């Protein structure tokens, strides 16, 4: 069970952080970032199956493969943005966190323009 490993790493990191905050608080942030990175790397292994499933669905439905790539990029940007926002908030930098969040949203909108335009073209063709 991978979730048990992830929870174990998280609890271990929290215990180490609590101890470090008493003696060397400047190192607590490094442990938090390292634990987050380990958890993300452990989770990335599961993405292969998801991507294969999406590719299979896309080929069976003759969906545009470009759109699948865009959706995967958007999902990756959302995950990375959320991780960066969490790290910034944990550091007490809420202003930077909100800027990272805004930047991620803008990039997602910019990347999704081909999907939005294709959807609008389809709607225009349907309307009289």
Tell me, what's the pLDDT at 60? 76
Q: What is the pTM of this model?
A: 0.73
pLDDT digits (tens, 9 = 90+) for 26-70: 898 899 889 989 998 888 888 778 878 877 877 776 666 678 888
3-state secondary structure of 46: coil
Tell me, what's the pLDDT at 102? 96
- From 74, 99, 76, select the one nearest 88 (Cα to Cα): 99
Contact predicate 74/108, CB 8 Å: yes
């Amino acid at each position: 069970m991978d979730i048990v490993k992830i929870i174990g790493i998280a609890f271990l990191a929290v215990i180490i952080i609590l101890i470090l905050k008493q003696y060397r608080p400047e190192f607590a942030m490094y442990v938090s970032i390292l634990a987050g990175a380990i958890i993300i790397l452990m989770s990335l292994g599961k993405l292969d199956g998801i991507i294969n499933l999406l590719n299979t669905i896309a080929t069976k439905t003759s969906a545009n493969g470009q759109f699948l790539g865009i959706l995967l990029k958007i999902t990756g940007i959302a995950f990375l943005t959320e991780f960066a926002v969490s790290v910034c908030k944990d550091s007490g930098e809420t202003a930077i966190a909100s800027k990272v969040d805004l930047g991620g949203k803008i990039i997602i909108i910019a990347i999704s323009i081909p999907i939005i335009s294709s959807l609008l073209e389809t709607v225009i063709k349907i309307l009289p």
